[in-house]
Amino acid sequence: MSPAPATTAEKTQPGGLVLLCLASWAIPGIGHIWLGRRAKGFVFLIALPLMFAIGLALHGRLFSFDTSDVLTPLEAGAQLGIGLTYFLAGPFGAGKGDVRAITYEYGISFLIVAGLLNLLVVIDAYDIALGRK
């Protein structure tokens, strides 16, 4: 009698889980692609950076971890959820924000929600790796 095949949870080691979560955070959807959920992964890979890019195009501002205001670090943390894209935007001159633009608040909403959605994607990849889904 052959042994039962190892589940995803049995194959995933703690170090692998950390790496999976980091990769999934850094590049949206990579965690799902890694775990064989390619279709879902590619949707996240396209949709989330595109949503973030639309936020930048709408003159949204990327917040820094400035503790002089209570809400600013929270907004920065939410935006940081998008991963490497957050760090790539600065050198390209994006994310300075233009408070005079009519789309400024919309842009910030796109940036924050894209980051928060990517954090949900990371949690989903973690659950899949543990065999919960």
Residues near another protein (CB under 8 A)? 40, 43-44, 47-48, 50-51, 54, 57-58, 102-103, 106, 109-110, 113-114, 117, 120-121, 124
- Give the shortest CB-46-to-another protein separation in angstroms: 10
Q: In the chain, helix, strand, coil percent, each to 5?
A: 65, 0, 35
- Give the shortest CB-118-to-another protein separation in angstroms: 9
Q: Which is nearer to another protein, 47 or 73 (CB)?
A: 47
Coil, strand, or helix at residue 61?
strand
Cα of 65 vs its chain's centroid, Å:
18
CB atoms within 10 A of CB 69: 10
- Give the shortest CB-92-to-another protein separation in angstroms: 20
Q: Which is nearer to another protein, 36 or 65 (CB)?
A: 36
Separation between Cα atoms, residue 78 and residue 110, nearest integer Å = 11
Q: Which is nearer to another protein, 25 or 44 (CB)?
A: 44
